[in-house]
Structure 1
Amino acid sequence: MRTELLKIIEGGLEKNREKVKSYAQLLVEKLRAEGDDKFADRIRNIIEKKTVHPVYLDEFMSKPVDQDSRLEMVDVSITDHLTEDIVLPKITKIKLDQYISSLKHRNEFIKMGLDLPESLLLYGPPGCGKTSIAHYISQQTGLPLITAQLDAMVSSLLGSTSKNIRRIFDYAKERPCILFLDEFDAIAKSRDDEHEVGELKRVVNSLLQNIDSFNQNNILLAATNHEKLLDPAVWRRFSTVIEVPKPAEEEIVNLIQLFLKAISCDFLHDTKKMSKIALLLKGISPSDIKVLCYNTIKATVIENEETLSYPRFIYQIYLFKHVNEDSSALIRYLNDNGVTQAETSKLIGISIRQVRKLLNDEEDKI
Structure 2
Amino acid sequence: MSEEKAIDLLINSYFNRDNELFINSLNKLIKNSQLKIKANKKFYEINKVYDSSSIKEEKDVSIREVPLVRKKWLTQSLKKGSNSLYLNPDIKEKVFELEKIYINRKSIQRKGLLVPNKVILVGDPGGGKTTLANKIISDVGANLISCNISQMISSALGETGKNIHKLFSKLKDGDALFLDEFDALATVRFHDSNDIGEMRRIVNVLLQEMDTLSDDILLIAATNYSRKIDPAILRRFSFEIYLPKPTKNERFKYIDYFLERFYIKDNKKVIATVVNLTENYSYSELENLLNDYTINKLYKNKEENLLSYFVKNLQIRNQLNDTVMNKWLMEKKISITTLSMILGISRYKLSDKLKKESDKS
Task: Judge same fold: TM > 0.5, yes or no.
Answer: yes
Is the CA contact (8 Å cut-off) linking 1:190 and 1:231 kept in structure 2? Answer: no
Render the CA deviation track for 1:269-322: whole Å, top value 9, x for unaligned.
x4xx55543332222211111112222223334652367354334545x459x7
Distance of 1:171 and 1:200 partners within structure 2? 23
Identity over aligned pairs, percent: 29
Which sits farther off after the overlay, 224-233 or 279-288? 279-288
From 262, 281, 285, give the equivalent of 2:282: 285
Change (3 A) 1:116 1:127: same
Partner of 2:229: 230
Matches within 5 A, 1:188-203: 188=186, 197-203=196-202
User: Which ranges of structure 1 fall in alignment gaps of 5 or more residues?
Assistant: 3-31, 38-77
Instruction: Give the gaps of 5 or more residues in structure 2.
Output: 5-28, 35-70
Change (3 A) 1:164 1:319: farther
Q: 1:303 to 1:343 in 2, by over 3 A?
A: farther
Distance 1:142 1:158, change over 3 A: same
Aligned to 1:361: 356
The CA deviation at 1:175 is 4.8
Corresponding residue number in structure 1 for 2:177? 179
Q: In the aligned structure 2, how far is the partner of 1:354 from the partner of 1:314? A: 19
**Superposed displacement of residue 103, structure 1:** 1.4
State whether residues 315 and 321 of structure 2, in contact with CA within 8 Å, keep that contact through their aligned partners in structure 1: no
Aligned-residue offset at 1:196? 5.2
Question: Which letter maps to 2:184?
Answer: A
Q: TM-score, normalised by structure 1?
A: 0.67
Change (3 A) 1:86 1:351: closer
Cα drift, residue 205 of structure 1: 0.9
Q: Say whether the 8 Å CA contact 1:185–1:230 is kept in structure 2.
A: yes
Distance change >3 Å, CA 34–CA 129, structure 1 → 2: farther
1:135-171 deviation line (CA, Å, top 9, x unaligned): 0011101112111133431123141110110010011
Residues 209-254 of structure 1 deviation map (CA, whole Å, 9 limit, x = unaligned): 1111115442111111011101110122111111111122221212
The within-5 A match list for 1:184-333 is 184-188=182-186, 197-261=196-260, 262-268=262-268, 270=269, 274-301=271-298, 304-305=301-302, 308-316=305-313, 318-319=314-315, 323-331=318-326, 333=328
Contact 2:84 2:254 in 1 (8 A): no
Is the 8 Å Cα contact of residues 153 and 160 (structure 2) preserved in structure 1?
yes
**Residue type of the alignment partner of 1:277:** V
| Contact 1:297–1:308 (Cα < 8 Å) also in 2 | no
**RMSD after superposition:** 3.5
In structure 2, the CA distance between the partners of 1:181 and 1:131, relative to structure 1 (3 Å rule), is same
The DSSP-based 3-state class of the residue aligned with 2:335 is coil
CA, structure 1 residues 204+33, in 2 after alignment: closer, same or farther (shift >3 Å)?
farther
**What SS is found at the alignment partner of 2:155?**
coil
Partner Cα separation in structure 2 for residue 226 and residue 345 of structure 1: 40
Partner of 1:15: none
Tell me, in whole angstroms, the C-alpha distance in 2 between the residues paired with 1:213 and 1:359: 66
1:35-114 matches, within 5 Å, as 82-83=79-80, 84-114=83-113
Following TM superposition, by how much is the alpha carbon of 1:259 offset from its aligned partner in structure 2, in angstroms?
A: 2.5
The amino acid that maps onto 1:264 is: I
Report if aligned partners of 1:247, 1:285 keep a CA contact under 8 Å in 2.
yes
- Conserved? CA contact 2:173–2:216, under 8 Å: no
Checking the alignment, whether the CA contact within 8 Å between 1:184 and 1:223 is kept in structure 2 is yes
The TM-score normalised by the length of structure 2 is: 0.68
CA distance in 1, matches of 2:135, 2:170: 22
In the other structure, the counterpart of 2:39 is none
Aligned length: 287
